[in-house]
Amino acid sequence: MTTQKYHKEALAHPVFKTLSHAAQELGLEAYVIGGYVRDFFLGRDQKKDIDIVAIGSGIGLARAVANELPGNPKVTVFKNFGTAMVRHGDLELEFVGARRESYSRDSRKPIVEDGTLQDDQNRRDFTINALALSLDPLEFGKLLDPFGGLDDLEKGIIRTPLEPATTYSDDPLRMIRAIRFAAQLDFRIERDSLNAIGVQKDRIRIVSPERITDELHKIMATDKPSIGFGLLHKTGLLGYILPELVALQGIEEREGQRHKDNFWHTLEVVDNIAQATDNLWLRWAALLHDIGKAPTKRFDPKVGWTFHGHEFVGSKMVYKLFKRLRLPLNDRMKYVQKLVMMSSRPIVLSNDYVTDSAVRRLVFDAGDDVEDLMTLCEADITTKNPKKQKRYLKNFQLVREKITEVEERDRIRNFQPPVTGEEIMEAFSLKPGWEIGMIKEAIKEAILEGEIPNEHGPARDFMLEKGRAMGLSPNTNKP
């Protein structure tokens, strides 16, 4: 069922002529396949990675192409995968030899054999990703679309080339990829596929966390991440990936008191933050900001539902979750932990009268992340009452203004004590000891409370006074 259609305009870049020539020299058939072709038909921003499949050695073709390209770029070979990569300007050319894969149910690794183009298209995940354009000089740009992928692109459908049960069972990551593409492209997953995912969801256990996390990040990066996360939830996959989130789902009622559904609330918050920022880690913080609410949920007949300390508990949960998903355990994780931990701080501020000292403490604790924290809090407003929404936003605006004001005056961000430990030791002829820490802490407190400005002179006077009050005698030898 090969469609006799040519799409030379998709291959207008001169590199395709080079590819075509090199393949001809080697006597190989070669095709552009996958994301590049799909995105051409979608009129999407053309991506910089181009997948090329050769009927024969992909690595051999990569070497020949690199030889023909100006500057003879390096060929990076991934032996285990039988693939190779060549960079050309801002393009990344990925080469693979056409292959047939056969899977047995109990092994994750397929038996891989050389195959035809059709074999290779069969092992692709979706019809829209199996579209291939010929690089043969005699039929340059001919579309090979054995599964009606173009039709699916037009209709906005995610469909597998083979029986969904086979495609998903062969590589269960494809279940998440289906959702990822549906979310990215605003497509609908065809019903049989969706059902198959529901049936096979348990097999996601055999997929490595790194691969899952890659797809999760692509879902997280979409304009409306709730679409992807909603599908992950609906299919039951989310329970294997982020059970902490699933635990937030549901509304309980006792003595006529209900709490909100913190799962759907969280997804709204993530959508809101996606409007405000591309920062992936801030999006993670939004996704996880309420995870402590499941383990801390209590019902108190006097006050209703409470989630005391959920910020602390939630931030403690981040490490295990990051470790499990092979997310970085470095300062990015610390950033997420900190934002989860502090996620309610500005809310308290905006409810009450905002004192300068409370704002100084917020800036002291949040440091350079204080703006991100404010963005998170604003995204956290999901009330459907427009009056309330307006009031909350206005209150946060006031907090932001206060932050700027206090910052200009007191420079609390990345606080450095205006009086050093050495100066304290010298002032009272002290050896290192607990007194130094105590005086330093007192100075910091006095600054945060607004009793003294964040300046050396007043801080030194305060230090002398404090020392005397502690029964220390000032060193009179030196000024």
Nearest approach in angstroms of CB 35 to Mg ion is: 4
Question: And the tokens for 283?
Answer: 């999006």
Q: Indicate which single residue of 13, 21, 47, 411 sits in contact with ligand ATP (rule: CB under 6 A).
A: 47
Between CA 155 and CA 147 the distance in angstroms is: 14
Region of 60-68, 124-132, 140-148, 273-281 interacting with ligand ATP (CB under 6 A):
124-132
Q: Which positions from 234 to 273 touch ligand ATP by CB under 6 A, shown as an x/- string?
A: ----------------------------------------
Binder to ligand ATP among 7, 88, 99, 124 (CB under 6 A)? 124
The rounded distance, in Å, linking the Cα atoms of 185 and 198 is: 21
* β-bridge mates for residue 40, sequence order: none
DSSP string across 74-105: -EEEEGGGTEEEEEETTEEEEEEE-EEEE--T
Distance CA 376, CA 319 (A): 20
Kindly identify the residues of this chain, within the stretch 151-180, that bind ligand ATP according to CB under 6 A: 171, 173-174, 177
Would you list the DSSP string of 402-429? HHHHHHHHH--TT---SS-HHHHHHHTT
Interface residue with ligand ATP among 125, 145, 290, 372 (CB under 6 A) is 125
Cβ distance to ligand ATP smaller for residue 48 or 320: 48
The CB-of-39 to ligand ATP minimum distance in angstroms stands at 7
Query: 11, 40, 51, 375: which one contacts ligand ATP (CB under 6 A)?
Result: 51
Q: Which two tokens stand for residue 277?
A: 């920022």
* From 16, 31, 35, 122, residue interacting with ligand ATP (rule: CB under 6 A): 35
Q: Which of 372, 307, 309, 297 is CA-nearest to residue 338?
A: 372
Q: Do 289 and 266 meet the contact criterion of CB atoms below 8 Å apart?
A: yes
Span interacting with ligand ATP, options 70-78, 122-130, 194-202, 423-431, rule CB under 6 A: 122-130
Of ligand ATP, Mg ion, none, which one does residue 440 interact with (CB within 5 to 8 Å by kind)?
none
Interaction between residue 145 and ligand ATP (CB under 6 A): no
Shortest separation between residue 121's beta carbon and ligand ATP, angstroms: 8
CA torsion through residues 134, 138, 140, 143, sign: negative
CA neighbours closer than 13 Å in the CB half-sphere of residue 382: 17
Residues 4-63 that bind Mg ion (CB under 5 A): 35, 49
Interface residues with ligand ATP (CB under 6 A) are 34-35, 47, 49, 51, 124-125, 129, 171, 173-174, 177
Interface residues with Mg ion (CB under 5 A) are 35, 49
